Structure 1
Amino acid sequence: MSRTRTALALGMAAAAALTAASATATAAPLPVAGSTTVTPAGHAFKATLSGKATLKAGSVTVTCTVSVAAGSVPAAPGNQNPAGPVSSPISPPTYSSCTSSMPGVTPTVTTSGSWSVSMQNGSPITATMTVPAGGLVVQTTGLANCTVTTAPGGPANVPGSWANGAPSSLTFTNAVVPVTVTGGFGCPTSATTSTFNAVYKVTDTTNPAQQITVTP
């Protein structure tokens, strides 16, 4: 009888300890984002595509070899955040010299609205490009007339990474972007997302001898 009571007591104690541990784990606060500083404060910059940018929706891939955007680092103290990212407005990127994976189809890419890019220092340094609702539209003509609209339900955050250098670079690798596709035969109308790949070289246009840099 005593053995049964002892086993029962041990089992209850173990269950209580497990419950307490679970509650402690659940209540643990999320880690605080580290500090971020983008320099030089107030300097203008230009992001120029290196290589090619691809946007793939369903079985259709649009490839562009020319893309440029411009922006500026916030003036001090806005270029520093003690616990989070630093955001900079950018011009809607332009895309040209574009081709489609579908034979006989010519794509045209137009952009609009308020775009931005934010950097968060870390290992690696992360970057997020915010595309406004409907901020990028791909239209194709020829054998298939399709319209691909990005961020149809509101602004979309496109995850990427940043690397300091001369020049620094902004990279997007298989980043998922919400889309809607309309059109007739040959259009991937069932696609609800696309994947975006691109590498941009970012140069300081206020003082070309300096580099846009992300540090703690």
Structure 2
Amino acid sequence: MRTVLRSLAELAMTAGLVFGLFVAYLYWGTGEYTHRQQGDLHDELERRWNAARVHRLAADEPRREKSGATAAPTDGQAYALLRIPKFGSSYEYTVVQGTGTADLRKGPGHYPGTAGPGEIGNMAIAGHRTTYGAPFRRNDELARGDEILIDTATTTFVYTVTSRTVVRPSRTDVAAPVPEHAGARPRKAMLTLTTCHPEFSAAYRLVVFAELAGRRPRATRT
């Protein structure tokens, strides 16, 4: 009996160690992967934006920017910058184009086919809540009036939160041009952030809605 109990205790300790290592990987291992990807994506975005600005200056063809990309990026490529002042000055993520598994491991992903920054319609962005950097972990803290900033090459688009809700994963209409009203014609620029809910579960989706409140020249960074 003692031998059996000792064996069971050893198995329990081993299982606990394996589980602990697995949890550590989910938090730090996947987070480190996203951190490296974010660095590369940010550099890619800045290079592309700088090249576009130089090209416009050389061609002497100033034009008003309508979206964050001078040419539509493909899935997995850098798209725009996302900042949420409520989460601190260090909160900044490069949004990628696409919401596939590989895309969201790099950072928040822009739903293909939804509006671009500042455009009439609904710009929808998905992101992880518990793994791969957990960019949307604190989205349940966002409240009406909080700012969400989307940076493009020359412009910062300022959205303010209007509401927050929890829906089933099947509710894809939250990413419609008029959120929750599939088929309706949009008349204003909106932003929707989606993530899993509750934490450590994919049973529901936490959705944050926002509307464009203004725009300003993007501050040049050195």
TM-score (norm 2): 0.28
Bigger fraction of residues in strand:
1
TM-score (norm 1): 0.29
Relative contact order, CA 8 A, sep 6+: which one is greater?
A: 1
Rg larger in 1 or in 2?
Answer: 1
Bigger fraction of residues in helix:
2
